[in-house]
Chain A
């Protein structure tokens, strides 16, 4: 664990983040803390702004207003490369894998290792194999098979392995279990726990409350672009999260302040 936990300093701290698209205010004054070594679940109904917030963190969207600090320092994330440099990696719902490339090629896409100006396939293959085995992703038949030939769960694993290979500190996962069956969902949840045990911060975007309560240490709920609630998972039950997601507050009144612990 990093000392940040001990001092209570979150890895990623967001304050009063605003984002609009034309006249549509997608996010309004959003605050969020993501601590290292813990799983933070970001919940919300469709259109609540989960994906927009994720893309702001990942550098895909530029924020309009607000402060983002990383390990205690104010940062401006302008693009995906900035995010990657900080150690933020995103696993998108569509996984963003190139079907025609094999597992190694996908894991190193955009960050290929070179030797004498040519691709260093041997070294890349070795590192990819190490990362996969450290995550216990072991049922792929060959690390050199095209991603097109993998099952949904295997693809998810490759996408996660791709994200954690770069000494990343925060892994954002957008609906990691949405397209998976029961067994494969279990595998992915195990994978998320393994990332947490490695000391990584994980932020899971999900509206599957079963998954959320299984892995999350903290839960943040967005409602219509505002942070409805953000607290430890143990302070919630399924019903309360559900209520925050659908109405933005408990008993229709914003009974709880939209603040973190």
Chain B
């Protein structure tokens, strides 16, 4: 099998699986659907691993080729094609592996659901779309994958379409993402107009020629073209990767079944924005303004979304806000020009966050779809595997030394520390404060769920037990990389040049090579050991300590703190009012404009006055004219005489 065939099969297997499981759902049955889709994804995973092995160990050179020509018009060739380099290979492996875990897990989680085949069809379709996104060698296909993952996300958030909250959430997710895509599309338009191509390689080659170009958008003010392009593209990333203020859809997306929260809304799709910026690093490197913007947006998201996580009671929502915060960390890394570190965190986060979500799902199964942590507690003794893996995921999330998240998060903080562009100071503060907050909400969740006194009712408690093996095996398989992948990959990926063929950083901006590499002079082991003595570690321990004191030793304190800090608590509980901003103000204004234009514009002015008005006027005029046609001869004679006199008179007078 040639490598091209392998690459083509990787996305096509899940596409075929999706079609079979979805369209022939009655013919293949429940077991048939999960076997077909799981085998398809397993095939993709194996082939992706093979490709990654070829790329990282056998020195397969970067492949950039056309699969088919989509359209040719006006001298522009639109193509569908693959670009396979280290970044693609890494993403393919992560996506297919997490997807495979989620597929297996779904057998247990969706066991009793009537939409079983449909669910498998959707997650297979998602895998196809995500692979098309990461394998793209051009902006057209990127945008296709971008929107296609959005479509599947929409379908899966609204999977339980009878639930009003679910179908509200999926509409919201799609529309908020469309706001981001609006910017994204304009960015793509600018690239085509000024660089004459949509192919990555051609665009990158054209960047130096247009770098100094300025354009004027408002009046005479000149804007740097590259800054405009970068910010437009990044607005797309803000939608997909849920950065403030386009983050509002992600917490609501938790209405979907938990497996997709893990796959789509934590590990893969939401990281598409991060991937996109890293993939387009030759473009983003040209605009310091845009990078500062990215840095600040990421920092705001990392800090403020983490804070909201502290006051959530729904176990999935805690993890969701944690995801927002971690996406903020990745964005901060991008803004600091540490693209490879962002991708590294993307990878470790994919494993440990998928693990945490699936763990939460395991708890939810055990409690018969209860998600409120106030009705949990002490579950560790009923479900030891879930609890143990949740501990692994949590320690990775807070960045405990040696766990995978330690390497990636510590390096993000270090990168920001050395970055010297406007906003870096604030970002550094935000990511440091974020460490305390992350530890606080993570351990709060761990304790409320697995430890302390149980608050379940008797009925629930008597049924609580460990989940079946289809659930626990994926947990264990995800716990392994959550624990170890950072240690083994940090040096080759970041300092060994494994990603250097895909990521471009200007020398002056390159904090990874200039500043971080020195910290690894003595290897990853020394770095991790040193990790126990850094302020970052002690900040995390501070968060853990606070959580431990409040939730294990002094349970009443949480309530009284809530009373005392009522204002702060309300602000967090209301999520800073972003939902109101979007729903009441923006969506409300849109609907008012809509009904105003419909009633005032179309019905009153155009139809009422102009169309029916002219019809009425014709009617009235003809009604008036009809009066003249009285049928009495003396009327006509009279008019004739008067007219004759008038005619003669005018002739005489005007002369």
Decide whether A and B assemble into one complex.
no
B residues apposed to A, CB below 8 Å: none
A residues apposed to B, CB below 8 Å: none
